Amino acid sequence: MDMTYEKVKVVIAGASGMVGREFARLLAGHPWFDVASLCGVTTAGKSYEMVWNEKENQLKNAYPLVWKKAVFPEQYRDWQIEYINVRGLREKNVRIAFSALQNTKDTEDLEQKLADNGIKVFSNVGCMRMWEMIPLIIGEVNPLDMHLVEQQPWYKRGGHIVKNANCTTIGLVPFLHVISRNFGLKGIEVVTMQALSGKGDDAYNSEEIIGNTYTFIKGEEDKVATEPHKIMHNGLFEIKVKCNRVYVQNGHLEDVFFETIKETSEEEVKEALRNFRNPLTDRLPSSPDKLFYVIERDGGPQQKIDVNNGRGMAISVGDFKQYSKKEFFASLVSHNLVRGAAGASIQNAELALSMGYV
């Protein structure tokens, strides 16, 4: 199967934010996509390198004990952030827009305008995720939901909108998918310890977060409780969730208690994870060498050690405990900016291109 394509021109909307910078980093030198423009709202007209460094320094000052500055991609050395101009993007033959904008009504309107003008939008933004005609894709789990774009009013004009899920949901659902399809899934309880970078460019006050676990992340628990059902097409199991923010730069840790329908064993669960593959995503440039890294060390996966497994696109699983033939515990670690955000959107665009939807 030929997996080489003529490069597609893309734009990053919201390029100066936390996820936007990750888009820029991951798309630099991408084999299928060529960045034609970096766009923003409040930062338009400014040097991309200057904005990048200013924001990184702000975060370093806010979180001095853990923050390491991200290396600026040389490809964008002399670039400026541009206003988002739909006509201008069409003149540049842009076919894909990666959206990392703020979750506002203005963003919802802009994404629809882009799609209405023949641009394929792959969005990390929360708006419209639960609309019936909008595919909410995790490539390894529900790639065939990409067909939903054909139901969108913009499709006949050459555009469409594809969403990726919340950063915590993306780390959790592939694990639940493997458990559900192999052993059945009756219910789960999950407690998360989520990285600082999941808050975006806005920093916590030092007294809120240093030496503390911040126990409220607005809207997060509702997303983690509802999005998996749309992705997995399975509303039969219950999800109970509590989300927390911890003083870690990157990586979400999720402690998952789960009950299966069939009787099984810890080793059978591990083997199902090790053997999981999806041929539709295996050969995509952003896909990891394997989706699950099964961690056997005492204590299981850790954010500091395992966040970059599979170039940030893998999910590390470990610290298994078996309470009965149907009741288990496991810990998961995933990179919230790569697997949980920009990397997921890029993989979705690669999947769409391979399926003929770009």
pLDDT for 66 equals: 95
Q: What is the pLDDT of residue 201?
A: 86
275, pLDDT greater than 50: yes
Residues 147 and 192 in one domain: no
CATH code assigned at 242: 3.30.360.10
Residues 174 and 153 in one domain: no
Task: Please tell me whether residues 299 and 162 are part of one structural domain.
Answer: no
Report the pLDDT averaged over residues 113-135. Answer: 97
Say which residue, 223 or 90, is predicted with more confidence.
223
Cross-strand bridge partners of residue 56: none
What's the pLDDT at 2? 55
User: Where is 293: in which H helix or E strand?
Assistant: strand 292-295
* Chain segment 305-325, per-residue pLDDT in tens: 999 999 999 999 999 999 999
Q: Same domain for 85 and 173?
A: no
Instruction: Over range 253-279, report the average pLDDT.
Output: 98
Q: Are residues 269 and 184 in the same domain?
A: yes
- Write out the two tokens for 239: 């999800």
- Token digits for 41? 């709202």
| Residue 138 contacts residue 231 (beta carbons within 8 Å) | yes
**Nearest in space to 262 (alpha carbons), one of 185, 333, 188:** 185
Q: Is residue 273 part of a domain?
A: yes
Which pLDDT band holds residue 186 (cuts at 50, 70, 90)? very high
Query: Range of 142's domain?
Result: 8-166+341-354
**CA R_g for the chain:** 20
For 46-59, write each residue's pLDDT tens digit: 999 999 999 999 99
Q: What is the value of pTM for the model shown? A: 0.96
Q: Answer yes or no: is 135 within a domain.
A: yes
Euclidean distance between CA atoms 18 and 198, whole angstroms: 9
**Residue 209, C-beta contacts closer than 8 angstroms, at least 6 positions apart:** 63, 196, 245, 247
**What local confidence, expressed as pLDDT, does residue 239 receive?**
97
Same-domain check for residues 126 and 207 = no
**Average pLDDT in the 23-39 region?**
97
The structural domain count of the chain equals 2
pLDDT at 76 over 70: yes
User: What confidence score (pLDDT) does residue 207 get?
Assistant: 86
Q: What is the DSSP letter of 214?
A: B
In a domain, 3, yes or no: no
Q: Same structural domain for residues 155 and 177?
A: no
CATH of the domain at 126: 3.40.50.720
- Do 174 and 277 sit in the same domain of this protein? yes
Residue 2 lies in a domain: no
Q: Is 55 exposed, middle or buried (0-12, 13-18, 19+ CB in 10 A)?
A: middle
* Strand arrangement, sheet containing 327-334: 238-245, 185-194, 252-260, 327-334, 315-322, 292-295
Q: At what angle do helices 18-27 and 48-62 cross, to 10 degrees?
A: 130
1 assigned to some structural domain: no
Q: What is the pLDDT of residue 1?
A: 46
3-class DSSP state of 229: helix
100 in a domain, yes or no? yes
pLDDT of 191 higher than 90: yes
Bridge partners of residue 293, in order along the sequence: 316
The percentage of residues in the chain with a pLDDT greater than 90, rounded to a whole number, is: 95
Query: Are 152 and 252 members of one domain?
Result: no
Cα distance between residue 48 and residue 16, in whole Å: 7
Handedness of CA 257, 292, 243, 69 (dihedral sign): positive
| Same domain, residue pair 350 and 291 | no
What per-residue confidence (pLDDT) applies to 319? Answer: 98
Q: Identify which has the larger pLDDT, 292 or 208.
A: 292
Shared-domain flag, residues 193 and 274:
yes
Is pLDDT larger for residue 348 or for residue 200? 348
Inter-CA distances, 133 with 81, 103, 213, 235, 339, Å: 32, 19, 38, 18, 23
Q: Is the pLDDT of residue 265 over 70?
A: yes
Identify residue 342 by its one-letter amino acid code.
A
Cβ within 8 Å of residue 268, ≥6 positions away = 182, 183
CA–CA distance, 181 with 259 (Å, rounded to integer): 13
Which positions are catalytic? Answer: 167, 252
Q: What would the two tokens of residue 9 be?
A: 């021109």
- Whether 245 and 276 map to the same domain: the answer is yes
Helices in 256-320 by DSSP H: which ranges?
266-275, 303-306
Per-residue pLDDT at 89: 92
